[in-house]
Amino acid sequence: MMWRVHRVAKLHAVGDLRIEEADDPGAPPAGWSTVAVTSVGLCGSDLHWYAEGGTGEVSIGDPVVPGHEFAGRALDGPYAGRRVAVDPAIPCGRCEQCLEGHGNLCPNIRFAGHESLDGGLQERLVWPDELLFPLPDGMSDDAGALLEPLGVAIHAVDHAHVRAGHDVLVVGAGPIGVLAAAVARRAGAARVFVSEPLAHRRRTALRFGADAAWSPEEVEGELMAATAGRGVDVVVEMAGADAGIATAVACARPGARLALGGIPSTPLSAFPAAPARRKGLTFAMVRRMHETYPRAIRLATTGVDLDDLVSDRFPLERSAAAFEHAVGRTGDKTVISVSG
């Protein structure tokens, strides 16, 4: 079946998201498939682009279709007729990092919804077959889209070196922070604590397996009481703010490891260097994920309820309203349903 045009949601400038018609993507090249997009989750980085015009040192240039958490149905190719999750990052496959097996660090990577590569907020697109992952029967399309943030959480917990018996603090209980708490629990953490300013997100973190969730104002005192003044073995930071990094430093025991995964609005982050040095802390920077989709699917079918994280749904034609709602952070995960 061929189409001439399809609908897209295109971001032109801060707060300027428009529903438009675009040319059909055409027949896919060899090794690629056409995907009818069904579900797109809005990530915190998407909200930075919408509300602030970029993240860190990257800003809006030409208009772009956002969305990198998405699932759909393959219309052709090896998975024709099957529902699939879509890995949004296309590494070059030729650079030193790719050849060493670290495609997430590829300096030439193309990422859905960034720069010249349109993302998932469109009815159809073409994507590499190797980056499509068939969804199990019984997994919803929304859950398929949220395999991407679950994959980031898995990679962050891996990078944090969470081990059985560790006490873990997750700073920031947005969707990825909540999922990091759930993954840390399944990695064998003895206790998982959460710091989060929004009460409803603290409740979500508890629902996903955290032992305790406190506001940033009370976390240090409460956590030190809970650990008899020792602090935690590992911190996974997902707040993307200097205050969150300061909390991580304050709550870490000497010799602890801190995995920083939050995406700040500015190119620079700062942290309390003196206590970090005295404690001999190790900082690890988290860059997206590393071949985590199969593990994410296993977790999502064995207890991590991704549908429970979805608090709000909007149709494609109300994409701007979805972004406005998500920027207010009154819920957990906002999902846009795209007609395939």
pLDDT beyond 70 at 340: no
Considering the chain, what is the average pLDDT of its residues? Answer: 95
Q: Express as a percent the part of the chain with pLDDT over 70.
A: 98
Q: Mean per-residue pLDDT for 137-164? A: 97
CA–CA separation, 221 and 241 (whole Å): 20
CA–CA separation, 67 and 86 (whole Å): 11
Q: What is the DSSP string of 105-149?
A: G-TT-EETTBTTB--SSBSEEEEEGGGEEEPPTT--HHHHHTHHH
CA–CA separation, 2 and 8 (whole Å): 17
pLDDT for 270-308, tens place per residue? Answer: 999 999 999 999 999 999 998 999 999 999 999 999 999
Q: Mean per-residue pLDDT for 219-225? A: 98
pLDDT value for 56: 65
CATH of span 150-285: 3.40.50.720
Strand partners, 252: 232
CA distances from 148 to 43, 179, 240, 290, 291 (A): 10, 11, 18, 11, 11
pLDDT beyond 70 at 94: yes
- Weakest-pLDDT range from 42-46, 130-134, 198-202: 42-46
pLDDT value for 31: 97
Task: Provide the whole-model pTM.
Answer: 0.95
CA–CA separation, 272 and 246 (whole Å): 6
pLDDT beyond 60 at 106: yes
pLDDT for 252-267, tens place per residue? Answer: 999 999 999 998 888 8
CATH of span 5-145+305-337: 3.90.180.10
Q: Mean per-residue pLDDT for 139-158? A: 98
pLDDT for 29-67, tens place per residue? Answer: 999 999 999 999 999 889 988 988 877 667 777 899 999
| Token pair belonging to 340 | 């395939």
Residues 6+ apart with CB under 8 A from 327: 47, 50, 51
Q: Where are the domains of the chain?
A: 5-145+305-337, 150-285
Name the residue type at position 310.
Answer: V
